[in-house]
Amino acid sequence: MRKILAIFIIVLASYLAFDKFTSDDSTADVPEIGGAAGNVQRSVKPSDKRVKPEPLYEIEESSIPETEVINSDTIEGVYAADLDQKDVKASLRFTFKNDGTFIDYRDMTFPKSIAGETTGTYSIDEALLTLHYTDLRDKEVFKFPQAIMSMHKDGTLRTGAVVLTKQ
């Protein structure tokens, strides 16, 4: 029973630490002095309920062009990005078809060398493009079952800090 409890605590602590570093919300734990031992109050700033695109790779914010988000029902073509930052070197290429399918090709050379290609389906809701990956994907290269991108007037797609341009 102690092992299960220890595993649960480690997983919970890892999740909370990850959430703290990836969240824009400001939270602070403030211990009370006096009263019941170990009392902790949590002060929470109201959260922003908008869906945030999940980044494929983190790059410097200064390289993102200013764009306006658009709404679209269709997307077709090849969108690509070459990342050459101090933390990551990779090439990304997404091919979208009007039948609702896509092909995702990734080739990362740093910090470790991995490459792969997978397929899936996508859906569009206003300016958000949601990619649904197949379960048969190489999960070392394509870790997540889905990703979210935003579509912009200048013809780019953005996921996190990565900007994909139409080829």
Domain extents in the chain: 2-44, 61-166
Q: CA gyration radius for the chain?
A: 20
Nearest to 119 by CA among 134, 131, 100: 134
Q: Side chain identity at 134, as an amino acid letter?
A: T
Please list the residues that pair with 89 across neighbouring strands: 84, 110
> Mean pLDDT, to the nearest integer, of 95-124?
94
With bands split at pLDDT 50, 70 and 90, how would you rate the model's confidence at 7? low
Q: Is the pLDDT of residue 26 over 50?
A: no
Give backbone dihedrals phi and psi of 76, rounded to 5 degrees, phi first: -150, 140
| Per-residue pLDDT reduced to its tens digit, 61-90 | 445 555 566 667 678 999 999 999 888 899
Q: Of 24-33, 65-74, 128-137, which has the strongest mean pLDDT?
A: 128-137
- For 56, counting Cβ atoms within 10 Å of its Cβ (0-12 exposed, 13-18 middle, 19+ buried), the class is buried
Domain covering 61-166 assigned CATH 2.40.50 in the classification: no
Strand 27-31 relative to strand 162-166: parallel, antiparallel, unpaired? unpaired
The mean-pLDDT minimum among 13-22, 28-37, 157-166 falls in 28-37
Please list the residues that pair with 122 across neighbouring strands: 131
- Residue 31: per-residue pLDDT: 47
> Mean pLDDT, to the nearest integer, of 89-110?
95
> Mean pLDDT, to the nearest integer, of 103-116?
94
Mean pLDDT of the chain: 76
